[in-house]
A and B are shown apart, each in its own frame.
Chain A
Amino acid sequence: MAMSVIWTVMVGAAVLCGLATGNGPAVAKGALDGAAAGVELCLSTMGVMCLWTGVMEVMRRCGIADGLSRLLRPVLRRLYPGYAGDRRVMDAVSANLSANLLGLGNAATPLGLEAARLMAEGSGGTASDGLCMLVVCNTASLQLIPTTVASVRAAAGSADPFDILPAVWLASVLSVAVGIAAAKLFSRVWR
């Protein structure tokens, strides 16, 4: 529903603003160009997307995600002190994080939702501190190699589509750190 409203507002603003500024014909042409650009963007990024989902499938079958999730567990016990002793929750949370880091989005979401359901058991509809932390961590981007963005840059003719990696890592780390700090801080004052 939200998207229906957003899309209608976008088109409405374009038509009204176009009529008011005399850009009406350009808006009409923009609609046709935009639709074609949607298909072009999709086709031009498809190759890199397929390559990466292929490489990720090899990673998954090698058990790299499982190994990573074992490595992450000690850190996560500190991040989720309320669930440190709950094996099922810690399994789901660490598998969710390792899938997020490796960019296995399709695997990360069901694991995260499993963790969320376990954390919500018997909570009476109020989010626990752990659940808030889980949601905050999943609304931050943790993907080590942002393949979709790189494929868009490659399609646009970038000289080196992955040269943004250090900037992405820096921005992601700062964003996640502030998210975690905010969650820990709010958890003391927000009941």
Chain B
Amino acid sequence: MDLFFTMLVPCLMLAVAAAGLFRRVDVWGAVTDGARTGLKVSLSIMPPLVGLLTAVYMLRASGALDLLREALSPVLTAIGIPPETVPLLLVRPVSGSAALGVGAELIGTYGPDSLIGRTAAVMLGSTETTFYTIAVYFGAARIGKTRYAVPAALCADAVGFLAAAWAVRLIFGG
């Protein structure tokens, strides 16, 4: 089973390339064009990452994150979420690049293969930038009365965070 997930990505690359050749798609041209797009996307998230990681590192050094963690620790521990992930829970629904910065900081500090590092990664991978998405969609559709969209989306987020913490514990132990 482990091998399946480890080999999924390289096998997917092979399958996609083979399907492309079979359909007479210029596979090499698509790979390089796509990578060029990726380069642009990467560069475009660098300025917000610099600004946000600066603020996150300052917050961590100031001891403010420790205070926040201690304050919320009893509640979060009771429901099974590692308290260290508090900053991630707070910024995730608001800003994608802030969440990436905070998550990367947690993954780097505690280690990518630690319980906290994995939980942060799964939280990032299984939730979205809820408020930003809501603003963009209802803005584009010129909708003022959003009815139950916000509470329903927040229910999904809350379950996403809880399930991320539980799934990591279930699969990796700890």
Using a CB–CB cutoff of 8 Å, the interface residues on chain A facing chain B are 2-3, 6-7, 10-11, 13-18, 21, 23, 26-27, 29-31, 33-35, 37-39, 41-42, 45-46, 49-64, 106, 109, 112-113, 116-117, 119-120, 123, 125-127, 131-132, 134-136, 138-141, 143, 145-146, 148-149, 152-153, 156-168, 170-172, 174-176, 178-179, 182-183, 186-187, 190-191
Bound together, the chains give a CA A57 to CA B46 distance in angstroms of 22
- Do A41 and B62 touch across chains, with their CB atoms under 8 A apart? no
Chain B residues with CB below 8 A from A18, complex form: 58, 61-64
B27 proximal to A (CB < 8 A): yes
Q: Name the distance in Å between B134's Cβ and chain A's nearest Cβ.
A: 6
If A13-B64, A109-B136 touch, whether A50 touches B54 (CB-CB below 8 Å) is: no
Q: Name the distance in Å between B62's Cβ and chain A's nearest Cβ.
A: 4
Chain B residues with CB below 8 A from A138, complex form: 128, 133, 137
If A23-B61, A34-B57, A58-B25 touch, whether A127 touches B146 (CB-CB below 8 Å) is: yes
Bound together, the chains give a CA A136 to CA B32 distance in angstroms of 34
Chain B residues with CB below 8 A from A53, complex form: 34-35, 37-38, 41
**B127-158 contacts to A (CB < 8 Å):** 127-131, 133-134, 136-138, 140-149, 151-153, 155-157
B111 proximal to A (CB < 8 A): yes
Q: Name the distance in Å between A182's Cβ and chain B's nearest Cβ.
A: 4
- Listed A/B pairs (26) with beta-carbon separation below 8 Å: A18-B58, A23-B63, A37-B108, A42-B45, A49-B38, A49-B42, A50-B34, A50-B39, A57-B30, A61-B20, A62-B16, A117-B140, A125-B143, A127-B145, A135-B133, A140-B128, A141-B126, A145-B8, A156-B107, A164-B121, A164-B168, A171-B123, A171-B163, A172-B160, A179-B152, A186-B147
If A38-B46, A136-B153, A157-B112 touch, whether A162 touches B5 (CB-CB below 8 Å) is: yes
Bound together, the chains give a CA A63 to CA B26 distance in angstroms of 13
B125 proximal to A (CB < 8 A): yes
- The answer, among B9, B43, B126, for a CB contact under 8 Å with A168, is B126
The total of chain B residues at the interface (CB under 8 A) is 104
Interface centre among A17, A50, A58, A182 (most CB of B within 10 A): A58
- Do A135 and B134 touch across chains, with their CB atoms under 8 A apart? yes
Q: Name the distance in Å between A156's Cβ and chain B's nearest Cβ.
A: 4
- Do A139 and B156 touch across chains, with their CB atoms under 8 A apart? yes
Q: Name the distance in Å between B77's Cβ and chain A's nearest Cβ.
A: 19
- The answer, among B45, B58, B100, B164, for a CB contact under 8 Å with A167, is B164
- Do A17 and B54 touch across chains, with their CB atoms under 8 A apart? no
Chain A residues with CB below 8 A from B49, complex form: 38-39, 41-42
